[in-house]
Amino acid sequence: MAVTPHHETSRGRSSQPFWTMARRDSLAGFLFIAPQLIGIVIFVLIPLALVFWYSLHEWNVLANTFTYTGAQNYRMVIEDTNLREVLGATAIFSVGLVVLNMSLALLLAVLLNQKLAGIAVFRTLFFSPVVVSLVAWTIVWGFLLQKNGGINGMLQVFGIEGPNWLREETTAMISVIVVQVFKNVGLNMILFLAALQGVPNELYEAARIDGAPAFKQFRRITLPLISPTILLTSIITIVGSLQVFAQIAILTQGGPGLSTTVLVYYLYQQAFQFHFFGYGSTLSILLFVIVAVLTFAQWQLRKRIVFYES
Amino acid sequence: MKADLSPRMKVALYGLMCVLLIPFVFPTWWMVTSSIKPISDIFAFPPHLVPQSYDWTTYSKVFELQPFVRQYWNSAYIAAMVTTGTMIVSSMAGYAFARIKFPFANTAFMIVLLGLLIPSEVTIVPLFQMFLKAGMVNTHWPLILVPIFGAPSVFATFVMRQFFVTLPPELEEAARVDGLGRFKIFRKIALPLARPALASVAIFTFLHSWNLFLEPIVFLSSAEKFTLPQALTQYTDAYGGPMWNIQLAAATLTALPVLIVFIIAQKQFVEGLAHTGLKG
């Protein structure tokens, strides 16, 4: 990071006309952004071009074959019946996660917004899973969700026979969603709490004078005013949910069947377990398109909301 | 909403929050307590919420079965390098994009922002090939270089830029009249003011590196190179089933230090992570 613009400063001082303030600024600007810009070119743009190039090839590393096949991998994307299941599982996972995450985050934020003694302690505890190592968190939940694990043990105390959570299709999906929600809901909770505290108090006072019950105040005042926050965080949460990998790899390995094989996990399997780098690259492009569309929607939304607010 | 609550309402709210806390707090408790239970007790029925007897040998097995000290060091030094590197790269780029007028600044900013559109999962296949050609597979370089210079640092650059934009220009004008160079202004004036933003960047960069899982399992193949998340999953028996008590002991050793730092500096953590709206 040798970016000290030393010599141009000294030259500038000796009143050489070439190094004007503007020129020195330009050089400084380029030097300041150089590490990041070069990094993006090497570690993002070139790989993105390569992944597209690879996606046009059939490439088996074990057999050491790399043949240009044009759009064949893309036809495979359409014909791959496993992929349909994978995209279905991805959609269920992302939608389930975002719905559960948003509702729970909102509930917790409303609770934490009450005037109660010791509320800060609750806030800390609800937030704590965010800083617990992801894999450690997932391992404990995997342990709790075993057939003879802690959760079924508790249920049995009350005479309930619990399912084998991670080995049955429906409960496996619910489990991976729930584990992820409890891990990260604290972040959205804090964002919602900040939004709730930004709602002007006079509005509630006016509503109380009019005799509006608490629930109606929430629906008519709170929700509309914090809806921009809800919308933005839900898109960020969906994009995050598309990148979930460790939880799946540790809890279910995508199973039973393909029921919890989300797109990133499928991509990993195709490329790094079955060594189909070409098809894996095509799946990467698919993931890229989905994430790009969602992120772009978020930017547009943010622009519009900022405009609306001002 | 802000009216004072009746005592009965307060009791109800405390009760509700305590019930809701269970899935947030109990797993951590269960992880720590199960890690010191003898293997015969960890699936005991009814479950022992508090260990009835202790078996500390699990912890010595954590270190016997794998080079765990080495793996701990790997995770720690990689996270430290990534955090320091990201703070340097992102604060410089963020400062330039916010405060310096130079040609093509907008184009460069757009190119950098592309990093936000492209999660590292998308580029993992070509990155693997590139590092393979460079002879850097099964080294820590991919886990250090990509986060510092690649897509993961773009968010940090964005956060730093948003902060530097808010600084009043008068702060720098005086220094510029005095003939201070850009780098000195950045180091002596802008950077010290940016402490809160830098703290956010440091916290989420550290957590991101500490939790990295896909990249280590793609790039690393020998046990003494492993990072903690990857190492935790390697405590398995001859049939590939997890050795639960040992996994939980190793998980405890991984999770507790960060948790303790969080409890000490919770305000910085909560604000730092929430204000940047980071999602993992």
Mind listing the pLDDT tens digit for each residue in A151-202? Answer: 888 888 888 888 889 998 889 999 999 999 999 999 899 889 988 888 888 8
pLDDT at B122 over 70: yes
Looking at the fold, whether A47 and A90 belong to one and the same domain comes out as no
Give A63's pLDDT tier (boundaries 50, 70, 90).
confident
First to last CA, chain A: 40
Q: Is there a single domain that holds both residue A135 and residue A17?
A: no
- pLDDT band at residue A12, thresholds of 50, 70 and 90? very low
A31 plus A108 within the same structural domain:
no
Instruction: Pick the residue from chain A with its C-alpha nearest to B142.
Output: A43
Mean pLDDT of A215-225: 84
Task: Indicate if A139 and A245 belong to the same structural domain.
Answer: yes
| A24, A44, A157 member nearest B46 (Cβ) | A157
Measured between CA atoms, how close is A61 to chain B, in angstroms?
11
The tally of domains found in chain A comes to 2
Identify whether residues A35 and A145 lie together within a single domain.
no
For the segment A128-151, the average pLDDT, to the nearest whole number, is: 91
Specify whether the CB–CB gap between B203 and B276 falls below 8 A.
no
> What is the predicted pLDDT for the residue at A4?
47
pLDDT value at residue A309 = 46
Please give the pLDDT value at position B280. 30
In this structure, is residue A68 part of a structural domain? Answer: no
What domains are defined for chain B?
69-275 (1.10.3720.10)
Per cent of chain B over pLDDT 70 is 96
Look at residue A189 in the predicted model and tell me its pLDDT: 92
Residue A154 lies in a domain: yes
Would A171 be classed as within a structural domain? yes
| Chain B positions in Cβ-Cβ contact with residue A233 (cut-off 8 Å) | 277
Please check whether residues A113 and A228 belong to one and the same domain: yes
> Taking 90 as the threshold, does the pLDDT of residue B273 lie above it?
no
Whole-number percent of chain B with pLDDT over 90: 50
Chain A residues close to B106, C-beta within 8 Å: none
Same domain, A185 and A298: yes
User: A89-126: per-residue pLDDT in tens?
Assistant: 999 999 999 999 999 999 999 999 888 888 889 999 99
Which CATH number characterizes residue A192's domain?
Answer: 1.10.3720.10
Arithmetic mean of pLDDT over chain B: 88
> Where is the domain boundary, A55, A72, A93?
A55
What's the token pair of residue A55?
A: 């996606």
Residue A256 domain flag: yes
Looking at residue A200, its amino acid is P
The runs of H, that is alpha helices, within B42-117 are 57-65, 68-99, 105-117
Category of B53 on φ-ψ map: left (φ > 0), alpha (ψ -120 to 50) or beta: beta
Contacting residues of A for B148, CB less than 8 Å apart:
39
**Domain check: are A113 and A41 in the same one?**
no
Residue B1 has pLDDT above 80, yes or no: no
Instruction: State both tokens at B187.
Output: 């180091």
| A287: in domain | yes
Write down the residue that tokens 């409303």 correspond to.
Answer: A110
A146 in a domain, yes or no? yes
B4, B124, B145: residue with CB nearest A115: B4
Residue A306 confidence (pLDDT)? 55
Interface contact A129-B24, CB threshold 8 A: yes
Q: Terminus-to-terminus CA distance in chain B, angstroms?
A: 31
Lowest mean pLDDT of A2-11, A44-53, A163-172, name the range.
Answer: A2-11
ipTM: 0.88
**Minimal CA–CA distance to B76: which of B214, B195, B260, B229?**
B229
Q: Which residue has the higher pLDDT, A43 or A214?
A: A43
Q: Does B92 touch chain A (CB under 8 A)?
A: yes
- Residue A271 in this model has a pLDDT that exceeds 80: yes
Structural domain range at position A268? 82-309
Q: What is the pLDDT of residues B89-107, one digit of tens each?
A: 999 999 999 988 888 999 9
Residue B229 phi/psi, 5-degree rounding, is -55, -40
State whether A105 and A40 are in the same domain. Answer: no
Span B35-66, pLDDT tens digits: 888 887 878 777 888 888 888 888 988 998 99
Residue B200 has pLDDT above 80, yes or no: yes
Co-location of A12 and A107 in the same domain: no
The rounded distance, in Å, linking the Cα atoms of A140 and A102 is 24
Are both A96 and A218 inside the same structural domain? yes
B186–A133 C-beta distance less than 8 A: no
Mean pLDDT of B118-131: 91
Residue A69 lies inside a defined structural domain of this protein: no
Reported confidence tier of residue A134, pLDDT bands at 50, 70, 90: very high
Which residue in B has a C-alpha nearest to residue A112's C-alpha?
Answer: B17
Q: Per the domain annotation, does A112 fall within a domain?
A: yes
Kindly indicate the confidence band of residue B268, based on its pLDDT and cuts at 50, 70 and 90: confident
On whether any CB of chain A is under 8 Å from the CB of B13, the answer is: yes
Task: For residues A48 and A147, state if they share a domain.
Answer: no
| C-alpha to C-alpha distance for B33 and B256, rounded to whole angstroms | 13
- Sequence-distant (6+) residues with CB within 8 A of B176 are B185
pLDDT value for B167: 86
Q: Span B272-278, mean pLDDT? A: 62
Q: Pick the residue from chain A with its C-alpha nearest to B100.
A: A29
pLDDT given for residue B220 in this prediction: 95
Say yes or no to pLDDT of A8 above 60: no
Contact B31 A6 (CB under 8 A): no
